[in-house]
Amino acid sequence: MTEFGKSLASSPTPIPGLVVWELPVHGDNRGWFKENWQREKMTAAGLPDFGPVQNNIAFNDAVGTTRGIHAEPWDKFVSVASGRIFGAWVDLREGPTFGAVFTTEVDPSRAIFVPRGVGNAYQTLEPDTAYAYLVNDHWSPDATYTFLNLADETSAIEWRIPLDEVEISAKDVAHPRLDAVTPMPPRKTLVVGANGQLGRALRGALGDAPHIEYATRQDIDLTSDDLASARRWRDYDTIINAGAYTAVDLAETPEGRSQAWAANASGVAALARVATANGITFVHVSSDYVFDGSLNRAYREDDPFAPLGVYGQSKAAGDTAAATAPRHYILRTSWVIGDGKNFVRTMASLAERGIDPKVVDDQMGRLTFTHDIARGIRHLLDARAPFGTYNLTGSGDPTTWAGIARAVFTATGHDPDRVTGVSTEEYFASATGPVATRPRNSLLDLAKLEAVGYVASDAEASLRRYLAT
């Protein structure tokens, strides 16, 4: 019997992500009415905003008709329009809950959200039963499906009507037992710009699991009109954009300007469109150069853009594009040091070779090491932090480039007084090529990221560890 007068409520199950929903049903002498799917109310109550694209209805006229156990590579929201069903769900995803079972009855006053990779089966308990399901992907013959036999002894589902008395398809009868099932792999993570210094750090942080994909410029063309169909994007959970054009001074040349905008703005917009269309979480790495450095405090995430040069302008445009993806993390960072050629390595080399450098002493900031950016990205994803923009740099006292140079000299056993601090204007006075204007204040406020549990590494301690290795 359909229960009337319920309040909208959810109940978790032993299978992670599988959630039973109680639906308000309003009845009178004419029949009943319910809101079978109400995005605003249900997402506010905790249902994932899973973006359904298709509505299917299955009708069974006979009691005992049994379907399953099928695990599809998409999420589905299953409800009953008429009649009553017994449902059985088995977790067929890779992971510690593989094989977990949950069963319940579903009538018009109840629904269930079934996450990707959880096998589902339904047995009709009343004649003329119709059940509907919303799915967030279109059926495709190229998709990966997983199946389990309805009579699997390990799952030991207690069917309301014995399987030898019901209507079952020959295909469902032939499905494998649990010990022969190939688990549904997790959705993929794509790292774009995998050969860059951040891309290499991400490989260290994320590892080489089969569902982690690393792509170089040769592997993926962000300018292609076919990008939207270049992969089966519904199989992806996350895109991390670790690629960028970072030649700040060359960006001021005609060729560099074009390359900077292509990589930092147009390419980002293309990835954001793919992420938006397929419900993918988009992670993008930004820069302090979106600001002009004129504030007398650390920059917060909501401070307005005020870029000084082409590089900063292209990064600000990229941030704007990335923010159009509903599920986005923008990590704004500064003074990045990785495993390639960089300022720290240069200063260490000069110290060793007996060269006394002149270094800019009127730009303030903190170093950020690529392994910390990678760690921050993983933290946001693992913690399922609220989407948005986060500042991420090293922590500790701010310093200047000259201050960092002196710290490098000290850490490598050399006299820090060999470093002479100069103004930005003096440093670039003899430059023969284009010079981009730098922000004088590159300090970024870390409070928002720390509020979601990330502990920033002390920049000075990170520098010492970097030089030691």
Angle of helix 401-411 versus helix 343-352 axis, rounded to 10: 50
Asked if the peptide bond before residue 15 counts as cis, ω within 30 degrees of 0, the response is no
328 assigned to active site: no
Q: What are phi and psi of 377, to 5 degrees?
A: -60, -45
| Strand-pair partners of 67 | 122
Q: Read off the DSSP letter of residue 395.
A: B
Locate 68 and state its tokens. 């399953």
Amino acid at 81: A
| Strand-pair partners of 358 | 420
CB atoms within 10 A of CB 439: 25
Please choose, from the candidates 389, 387, 401, the residue with its C-alpha nearest in 3D space to the C-alpha of residue 439. Answer: 401
Q: What b/e sequence results for 171-200 when a residue is b if at least 16 CB atoms lie within 10 Å of its CB, and e otherwise? A: ebeebeebeebeebbbbbbbbbbbebbbbb
Taking the CA atoms of 356, 358, 363 and 367 in sequence, report the sign of the dihedral they define: negative
From 122, 131, 133, 427, active-site residue: 133
Amino acid at 174: A
From 70, 175, 328, 414, active-site residue: 70
CA atoms within 13 A on the CB side of 141: 0
Q: Read off the DSSP letter of residue 184.
A: B
133 assigned to active site: yes
Q: How far apart (Å, rounded) are the C-alpha atoms in residues 357 and 414?
A: 13
Locate 96 and state its tokens. 């510690």
Just list the catalytic residues: 70, 133
